[in-house]
Amino acid sequence: MTLIGERALAPLDALRRQTFASLTIPNYRLFIGGQAVSLAGTWMQTIAQSWLVLQLTGSATAVGLVVALQTLPILLFGPYAGVVVDRLDKRTLLVGLLSVMGAQAVLLGVLTATGTVALWHVYVLAFLLGAVSSVENPARQTFVQELVGPDNLRNAVSLNSVLANVSRAVGPALAGIVIATGGMAVCFLLNAASFAAVIASLTRLDRTALTPSAPAPRAPGQLREGLDYVRRTPVLAVPLVMMALVGCLAYEFQVVLPIVASETFGGDASTYGFLTAAMGVGAVVGGLGMAAWGRTGMWSLAVAAAAFGVAMLATALAPTLVVALVGMALVGAASVAFQSTGNSTLQLASAPHMRGRVMALWAVAFLGSTPIGGPIAGYVSQHFGGRAGLAMGAVACLLAAGLTAVVARREKRRTGAAAGQALPTT
């Protein structure tokens, strides 16, 4: 290769290294490899579980109830789950929790394979999985910083978002093939096996290269202490309030998009699939962009929320399906930017002994809001149309962005005034 060619490729090589910086860390490569297998398995179980309930009952309401039962524990137990995470070694805790989740998948698979599964089995096991997930989610989120350190945290969080969106496309496709050829029970058992992969990755980590935070000692009032800590810290409280608002009203695509596909554009299941796929492609591109150029802080979060709102509003006003597909790609990119920026901002701004409690509240705001936001989005979309459902999410994002910008400006003035008062006089 000529010298000119090498110089031309140098910026691309630098961009590649910047985008995938976390993958240079051996422990993170092991961890994300296990996560890739596990997330695909989780999506396989999610699809098979919904299909199983539909076969048992023929009721879409029953399918929705299973989803609610699986997310309700995050809303109920999430804040206290953060206390547990702060008290224990996160790697050991994750191994134990993932083992329980694998056992849950095995039990559901055996019940299905033997033909003895009943609806109440699915309900109970879904609630159990949600209860374990309420602890596993903040433990996994905070463990990432122990793997990569604070300097690479934003990059690692963005790459995790990319992986989650790729898995969202791959997992359901695999589930469809497996259900057609082997049955639903095989999906559950394959998901159980996928947990073995991520547990193996955790046990193979180089523990000397980890940077664990010291476990918080047991003490009364630690849940209240965590809530007070967030309330006193605007850089933590604001992102959490933002996600509670946006998570409740904007991240309800599984409710809104079917209405957009069928009623707004007169399509069918394939139209819904195209809209979801467009959002997934945008999310992958947006995640890679955040990995390379993303920033943290309240201003960056306000910009990401505003972009999310504008993209949703543009999609709500789309005159044709083609324009809506482009809009959904932009929605996917902006949604990942908002989620990654908020996650990184919280982790970097949290004290190490409080990080588990803070990220548990993030999970409550993001995932625990589904039982509340889902019915609201469903009601609005059913009575006013899918465009109204998207517009409602857009308004929530723009409102969150505006409020955050006001708080960020006030904090900048306050800290600037405090710095001026601290200057020596002559």
pTM of the complete model beyond 0.75: yes
Give the model's pLDDT for residue 416. 61
Residue 39, CB-side half-sphere exposure with 13 Å CA sphere: 19
Inter-residue contact 345 to 333 (CB < 8 Å): no
Q: Give 219-227 contacts, CB < 8 A, sequence gap 24+.
A: 222/83, 222/86, 222/357, 223/79, 223/80, 223/82, 223/83, 223/357, 226/79, 226/82, 226/83, 226/86, 226/354, 226/357, 226/358, 226/361, 227/79
Q: Name which of 157, 194, 187, 154 is nearest 172 in CA terms.
A: 187
- Enumerate the H helices of 58-118 as residue ranges: 60-87, 90-113
Q: How many angstroms separate the Cα of 115 from the Cα of each of 28, 266, 309?
A: 41, 38, 47
Inter-residue contact 158 to 288 (CB < 8 Å): yes
Residue 263 Cα to chain centre, angstroms: 28
- Enumerate the H helices of 182-260 as residue ranges: 184-203, 222-232, 234-249, 253-259
Token pair for residue 422?
């601290």
Give the model's pLDDT for residue 262. 81
Complete DSSP assignment for 1-37: --HHHHHHHHHHHHHHHHHTGGGGSHHHHHHHHHHHH
Inter-residue contact 174 to 194 (CB < 8 Å): no
Token pair for residue 234?
């605007």
Token pair for residue 99?
């083992």
Place of tokens 């995790």: 160
pLDDT per residue, tens digit, the chain (426 aa), is 554 554 544 555 555 677 778 888 999 999 999 999 998 898 888 878 888 887 888 776 677 778 778 888 888 888 888 888 988 899 999 999 999 999 999 999 999 999 999 999 999 999 999 999 999 989 998 999 899 988 888 888 888 888 887 887 777 778 888 888 888 899 999 999 999 999 999 999 999 998 888 777 777 788 888 889 998 888 899 999 999 999 889 988 877 887 888 888 888 767 877 887 788 888 888 888 887 777 788 899 999 999 999 999 999 999 999 999 999 999 999 998 998 888 888 888 888 888 888 888 888 888 777 778 878 888 888 888 889 999 999 999 999 999 999 988 887 777 665 544 444 443
Give the model's pLDDT for residue 98. 96
Q: Which residues contact 38 (CB under 8 A, 6 or more apart)?
A: 98, 194, 195, 197, 198
Residue 252 main-chain phi, psi, to 5 deg: -110, 45
The whole-angstrom separation of Cα 277 and Cα 250 is: 18
Token pair for residue 320?
């044709």
Q: Name which of 367, 383, 342, 165 is nearest 256 in CA terms.
A: 383
The whole-angstrom separation of Cα 136 and Cα 202 is: 14
